[in-house]
């Protein structure tokens, strides 16, 4: 039980043995609830009426349906943690081989670092706006250092802060919604906008992709739970926490812009919530910092996984993780301070475009773990220098993964590329759905028979 008592987490990517497992799956509810009550979620929710011009009732149903669907993937990846006892990216070695997994790990690391840099830039601006006496450079350093401290302390501290934050942020947003709807609503509040299938589906996709994009994070925060807690409880607590938190934030942003008629979601929040507005801005700042700690934590685990691929005997403890956290902090701050606002927006668009590589990975991960391997991975092989039974490179798996990316191209639409069928559903990128369907057929068809045999043998 040493891991519970230590203030700084003493592990990095290595397996968590049964003697060090502890906790209850309900901690996953508060973690994912608090994490998803963020300014970006508020702004994204406002798009339902601002961008897609839905009426309020249509926007509510699309937001709820999208998150409930996408949250299924988040919940299922989270439920892998107690079973496997290792971080999410380390598990990818079982699907792609020891060296083959480096491609997925590289994509995940870039996404983690991209969001970390973007969020320290955002937190620096918010700190400067709240306390103008603090210069933007100092404010950026403060936001980055705070997030790094939380992420470096590790797993247990992140859970503890989010357990408190869930109550505070949840109460604040519910109070804000009560203030919005307690005042007389505009005469056309319920009639403004209209239901369109394309607008509803676009809002649905926003919610679903929001949830799926968290998949690389999830088992990092459930791997210390006892294995006998099963799959259902971690799944349900994660699914409910993530969905409730994000739906609340999305509806908050949508309601604020619908009441005020403004085009800026955060300005609408300040205007619609009166005296509570400034307090909400401070709470959102704290949320950005806590959420960014998870970006740092995930980035560090992914980078350690990448290095350890080439140095099999290296199993860094707290000291190695702290050193890696410091390196990420310094590099990220230098990029954030040197970058112009246009560069940051460009970089964020690149990160969002890279989410297209996470969807086929998420499908491969879930089908392989639950359907092919029956919730069992050979952890000893995952850490062996030669990849054990998973090998160094699984070329078949990488081929299917590439196929899952390529089938998206004709339907893809982002800041850098628009496929010939990108407008099939106006204003909506449906490429991720195409990829899901393709992987759901290809992975069991080409990568299943031998693995099913091994799983049955292990059970016997």
Q: 183 versus 400: which is more confidently predicted?
A: 400
pLDDT of residue 49: 92
Q: Which of 295, 328, 370 is nearest to 76 (CA)?
A: 370
Q: Which of 290-294, 349-353, 356-360, 365-369 has the lowest mean pLDDT?
A: 349-353
37 Cα distance to chain centroid? 12
pLDDT of residue 14: 92
Considering 77-86, 119-128, 332-341, the range whose residues carry the highest mean pLDDT is 77-86
pLDDT of residue 73: 95
Rounded Cα gap, residues 47 and 199, in angstroms = 10
pLDDT of residue 1: 40
Contacts (Cβ under 8 Å, ≥6 apart) of 257: 46, 49, 50, 263, 265, 268
Q: SS3 of 137, please?
A: helix
* pLDDT (average), residues 120-133: 86
Residue 361 has pLDDT above 60, yes or no: yes
Rounded Cα gap, residues 269 and 53, in angstroms = 19
* pLDDT (average), residues 367-380: 92
Kindly report whether the global pTM for this prediction surpasses the value 0.75. Answer: yes
Percent of the chain with pLDDT over 70: 93
* pLDDT (average), residues 395-416: 91
Question: Per residue in 238-258, pLDDT tens?
Answer: 999 999 999 999 999 999 999
Percent of the chain with pLDDT over 90: 63
Q: 39 versus 459: which is more confidently predicted?
A: 39
Question: Per residue in 41-72, pLDDT tens?
Answer: 898 899 899 988 999 999 999 999 999 999 99
Tokens in use for 239? 């699914």
Residue 20 has pLDDT above 80, yes or no: yes
* pLDDT (average), residues 265-290: 90
Tokens in use for 190? 């319920």
pLDDT of residue 416: 80
* pLDDT (average), residues 286-313: 93
Q: 343 versus 450: which is more confidently predicted?
A: 343
DSSP 32-55: HHHHT-SHHHHHHHHHHHHTS---
Tokens in use for 345? 């927006």
CA contacts within 13 A on the Cβ side of 146: 20
Instruction: Answer for the pair 295, 112: CB distance below 8 angstroms, yes or no.
Output: yes
CA distances 60 to 145, 207, 339, Å, are: 37, 11, 37
Q: Which of 98, 96, 245 is nearest to 166 (CA)?
A: 245
Using CA of residue 313, residue 317, residue 320, residue 325, what is the dihedral sign? positive
Domains contained in the chain, CATH given: 2-459 (1.10.4160.10)
CA distances 188 to 54, 91, 191, 268, 379, Å, are: 13, 52, 5, 17, 59
Rounded Cα gap, residues 312 and 310, in angstroms = 6
pLDDT of residue 3: 41
Residue 118 has pLDDT above 60, yes or no: yes
59 Cα distance to chain centroid? 23
**Residue count (the chain):** 460
Residue 217 has pLDDT above 90, yes or no: no
Residue 189 has pLDDT above 50, yes or no: yes
């Amino acid at each position: 039980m040493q891991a519970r008592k230590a203030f700084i987490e003493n592990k990095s990517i290595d397996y968590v043995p049964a003697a060090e497992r502890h906790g209850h799956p309900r901690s996953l509810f508060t973690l994912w609830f608090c994490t998803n009550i963020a300014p970006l979620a508020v702004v994204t929710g406002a798009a339902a009426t601002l961008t897609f011009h839905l009426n309020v009732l249509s926007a509510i149903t699309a937001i709820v349906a999208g998150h409930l669907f996408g949250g299924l993937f988040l919940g299922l990846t989270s439920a892998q943690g107690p079973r496997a006892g290792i971080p999410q990216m380390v598990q990818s070695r079982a699907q792609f081989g020891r060296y083959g997994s480096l491609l997925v790990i590289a994509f995940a690391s870039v996404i983690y670092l991209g969001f970390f840099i973007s969020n320290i830039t955002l937190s620096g601006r918010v700190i400067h706006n709240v306390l103008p006496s603090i210069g933007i450079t100092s404010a950026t350093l403060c936001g980055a250092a705070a997030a790094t401290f939380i992420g470096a302390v590790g797993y247990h501290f992140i859970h503890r802060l989010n357990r408190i934050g869930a109550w505070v942020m949840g109460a604040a947003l519910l109070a804000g919604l009560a203030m919005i709807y307690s005042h007389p609503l505009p005469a056309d509040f319920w009639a403004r906008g209209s239901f369109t299938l394309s607008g509803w589906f676009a809002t649905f996709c926003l919610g679903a992709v929001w949830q799926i994009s968290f998949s690389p994070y999830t088992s990092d925060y459930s791997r210390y739970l006892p294995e006998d807690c099963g799959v259902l409880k971690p799944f349900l607590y994660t699914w409910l926490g993530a969905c409730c938190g994000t739906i609340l934030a999305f509806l908050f942003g949508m309601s604020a812009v619908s009441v005020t008629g403004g085009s800026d979601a955060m300005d609408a929040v300040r205007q619609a919530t009166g005296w509570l507005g400034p307090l909400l801005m401070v709470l959102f700042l704290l949320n950005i910092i806590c959420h960014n700690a998870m970006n740092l934590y995930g980035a560090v685990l992914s980078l350690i996984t990448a290095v350890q691929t080439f140095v099999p005997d290296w199993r860094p403890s707290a000291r190695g993780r702290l050193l890696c956290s410091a390196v990420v902090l310094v590099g990220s701050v230098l990029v954030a301070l040197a970058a112009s606002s246009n560069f940051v927006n460009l970089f964020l668009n690149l990160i969002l475009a890279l989410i297209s590589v996470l969807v086929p990975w998420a499908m491969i991960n879930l089908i392989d773990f639950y359907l092919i391997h029956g919730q069992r991975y050979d952890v000893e092989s995952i850490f062996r220098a030669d990849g054990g039974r998973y090998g160094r490179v699984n070329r078949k798996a990488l081929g299917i993964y590439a196929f899952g990316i390529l089938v998206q191209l004709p339907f893809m639409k982002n800041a850098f590329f628009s496929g010939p069928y990108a407008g099939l559903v106006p204003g909506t990128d449906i490429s991720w759905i195409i990829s899901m369907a393709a992987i759901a057929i290809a992975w069991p068809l080409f990568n299943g028979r031998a693995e099913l045999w091994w799983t049955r043998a292990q059970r016997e």
